[in-house]
Chains A and B, each alone.
Chain A
Amino acid sequence: MSIFEITIVILIISASAYFFGVRKIVSLSAKYKKKPDSLMKYYGKNAVIWAFVPAFSMLVAYSFLAPVYIETVFIDKLSKIFPEYQQSQLNLVYAQVQNIASGFLESSDVQLLALSEQLTSWNEKAQSTRSWVILLVLIGTSALGYNKIKLRFPARVKVEQFFERLFLGAAVTAILITIAIVVSLMFEALRFFEVYNFFDFLFGTHWSPNIAIRDDQVGSSGSFGMIPVLAGTVLIAFIAMLVALPIGVFSAIYMAEFAPRGLRDIIKPTLEILAGIPTVVYGFFAALMVAPFFRSIGLSLGLDVSSESALAAGAVMGIMIIPFISSLSDDVINAVPQSLKDGSIGLGATKAETIIKVILPAALPGLVGAFLLAVSRAIGETMIVVMAAGHAANLTANPLEAVTTVTVQIVALLTGDTVFDSPKTLSAFALGITLFVATLMLNIAALTVSRKLSEKYD
């Protein structure tokens, strides 16, 4: 049976488990003239959980693990046939056999054909075993669940427990995946630091990752000082915040305190559209319109503006972040109680005085949080800077020059032909972990600052 057919069978059995479960408790209740512990429907639900969950988990586990198991055993077998082969060569042979077995590849090699036939028969065997194992589990656990139904069985509590565990499982999965990503980043980064000094990476002021793949190539020594790259990131994020913070916060103030309802209903969705524009669109907006615009302005002022500049990328990134800041700030400002505003207005303060002296201080913790979250977004933003900021790792504070950022370098390092164990590729992971640590620290700072500030007022 295919996975699809097995799933259908599981679903049918689970559905009927509900009816049988309810029927059993109804008849038990009638027989002993007693009410069961829980409502009838919970006995049905409990039966469904017993029927569905073990069989379905088994199906998922089997489908993932069986191919891995077959591969391990088969390669083991291959290593006995070809004792002189390396592990990578064995993998290659296995891939070949697999392709022949599934008909993607034709071969006249007798040995390979025989092997592929063997693999096919293994696969078929695995598939039929799977059907049997799962049907057995399905029927076994369904019967067990059915058997558990008694008048004194606390079905509602059990169902509740099941859902609690389900939600816990989802939460744990999310955390585990995060940890897995960080750990894998870290391992690759550590491999990089085996070949390149950690402090040279952290404090080096020269970034040129061009490293030779063959030993006889010219210019084979790369340089991985990340300061210029980090400086570029900081410069662009700074420009972006310079654009986004005033516009975002002021527009939020206008929306929350001044705008009549009708206008607010127009401004808010418009800003949300801004948030929905894909970053690649912002990217070519920056590269094709904003950068040339700044360049021509610069020319008329007698300034030399490079065609890819930190200014253009930062400004457009700022525009991208405006809706982020304004909607967070809007929420924060609206959360300031009306009674405080009334108190200030009632003392004869004007609207502007009320905003500056009462609303903004009261909203400050939230605003700081919004600001730091926006900064970490600016640091992690990729597409705009890839298209508009340039690739040259200049160590400069001049926003009119091209700079490069951590994200741009990661893209550059990992696209195109790469070798996976060269320092050039590995340095991307080191950059990645740097970026991760930076945004992590910003987020922690955001949390601490807003907690500190709100403690002061509560």
Chain B
Amino acid sequence: MTIDSKIQVRNVNVYYGNAQALYDVNLDIKSKEITSLIGPSGCGKSTFLRCLNRMNDVIEGCRVEGNITIDGENIYSKDKDPVLLRARVGMVFQKPNPFPKSIFDNVAYGPRIHGLAANTTELREIVENSLEQAGLMDEVKDRLNESATGLSGGQQQRICIARAIAVSPEVILMDEPCSALDPIATARVEELMGNLSINYTIVIVTHSMQQAARVSTRTAFFHLGHLVECDETNKIFTTPNDKRTEDYITGKVG
């Protein structure tokens, strides 16, 4: 156990009804760096990601066993409120999913429900600051009151990131955030991730090994519900310990 690990995952098993999706996963995620989860489709990496903010709770028939602690607190203990947890652990989804509201209202959504701003001036500050951090302020500052669904896909995804930042989370989970974006928008989001990792712990699921190599410090490889290995990204992509990892990154399987 390393001292600076933000999230510790111990012996986690996940079931959808009778089907087991994750087998005995153990993983440490370090503070203020980017960890990538890679692996072939259906390997359980998204399921694992959704364990970290208990989004699996909303799926009927999903059961999580084991311990996950953030800063030493077990997030699955009975007295923990998943709603408060999700304010600490933000999430960005595969498909950009801005609410059908104005750009301002999208970013202000989280602060409003969590009562983070005492008045409208503060709220405006939070919103502008979040947009600034998401690198979107220059593009949208003249149309904060227009619908967010009218933006381009890449802008929508950055709105979603701004929306997540606005609640000032400690961890941001990203579930294939660039899979619906073109290369230019992808590059912008990756640049943004790099900037955000100064202040936030980021866990990203990605299908693109190049993306994992580009953005992350550490990479975890999942295969058929097992965590095969997790190490420095460099090491995973050059000298993996496990044969399965090697086969995957060299394109022999998956």
Chain A residues proximal to chain B, CB less than 8 Å: 260-261, 337, 339-350, 353, 357-358, 361-362, 456-458
Contacts and interface: CB of A to CB of B under 8 A. Distances in A.
A361 B109 CA distance: 13
A340 B99 contact: yes
A166 B36 CA distance: 60
B101 A361 contact: yes
B19 interface: no
Nearest to B105: A357
Interface stretch (B27-35, B81-89, B190-198, B231-239): B81-89
> A-B pairs with the 7 shortest C-beta distances?
A457-B100, A348-B87, A346-B91, A348-B86, A339-B97, A343-B97, A347-B110
A347 B147 contact: no
Q: For B53, B85, B113, which residue has the most chain A Cβ atoms within 10 angstroms?
A: B113
Contacts of B99: 340, 343-344, 357-358, 361-362
B154 interface: no
A362 B93 contact: no
Q: For A342, A358, A361, which residue has the most chain B Cβ atoms within 10 angstroms?
A: A342
Contacts of A349: 83, 109-110, 113
A349 B60 CA distance: 18
B58 interface: yes
Contacts of B58: 341-342, 345
Contacts of B218: none
B93 A350 contact: no
A342 B55 contact: yes
8 contacts: A339-B93, A341-B58, A343-B160, A343-B163, A346-B93, A347-B167, A348-B85, A349-B109
A383 to B, nearest CB: 41
B60 A261 contact: yes
Contact of A357 (B83, B90, B109, B163): B109
B164 interface: yes
Contact of B90 (A341, A347, A353, A361): A347
Given A345-B86, A346-B53, A346-B55, A340 B97 contact: yes
B95 interface: yes
A362 B113 contact: no
Interface in B188-219: none
B147 A260 contact: no
Contact of B163 (A340, A347, A361, A457): A347
Given A348-B83, A348-B87, A348-B114, 14 more contacts: A261-B60, A342-B55, A342-B93, A343-B97, A343-B99, A345-B55, A345-B86, A346-B55, A346-B93, A347-B87, A347-B163, A349-B110, A456-B100, A457-B100
Contacts of A458: 149
A353 B109 CA distance: 10
Given A261-B60, A350-B83, A344 B109 contact: yes
Contact of B100 (A260, A342, A346, A362): A362
A343 B93 contact: yes
Contacts of B114: 348
A342 to B, nearest CB: 6
A358 B42 CA distance: 30
A52 B127 CA distance: 72
Interface string B222-246: 0000000000000000000000000
Contacts of A358: 99
Contacts of B85: 348
B93 A347 contact: no
Interface string B153-182: 000000010011001000000000000000
A346 B99 CA distance: 13
A78 B85 CA distance: 95
Interface in B81-130: 83-87, 90-91, 93, 95, 97-101, 109-110, 113-114
A347 B60 contact: no
A361 B149 CA distance: 14
Nearest to B150: A458
A335 to B, nearest CB: 13
A342 B160 CA distance: 12
Contacts of A339: 93, 95, 97
Given A347-B90, A347-B164, A457-B149, A337 B97 contact: yes
A338 to B, nearest CB: 9
Contacts of B109: 344, 347, 349, 357
Contact of A346 (B90, B98, B113): B90
Contacts of B163: 343, 347
Contact of A348 (B60, B98, B110, B147): B110
Contacts of B90: 346-347
Contacts of A347: 86-87, 90-91, 109-110, 113, 163-164, 167
B113 A353 contact: yes
A361 B99 CA distance: 9
Contacts of B84: 348
Nearest to B99: A358
A130 B60 CA distance: 68
A357 B113 contact: yes
Nearest to A347: B110
Contacts of B60: 260-261
Contacts of B55: 342, 345-346
A180 B100 CA distance: 43
Nearest to A359: B99
A348 B97 contact: no
Nearest to A453: B100
Nearest to B60: A261
Contacts of B167: 347-348
A342 B113 CA distance: 15
A353 B111 CA distance: 13
B147 A457 contact: yes
Contact of A456 (B97, B110, B147): B147
Contacts of B95: 339
Interface string B28-63: 000000000000000000000000010100101000
Contacts of A261: 60
A344 B101 CA distance: 13
A349 B164 CA distance: 12
A342 B97 contact: yes
B100 A348 contact: no
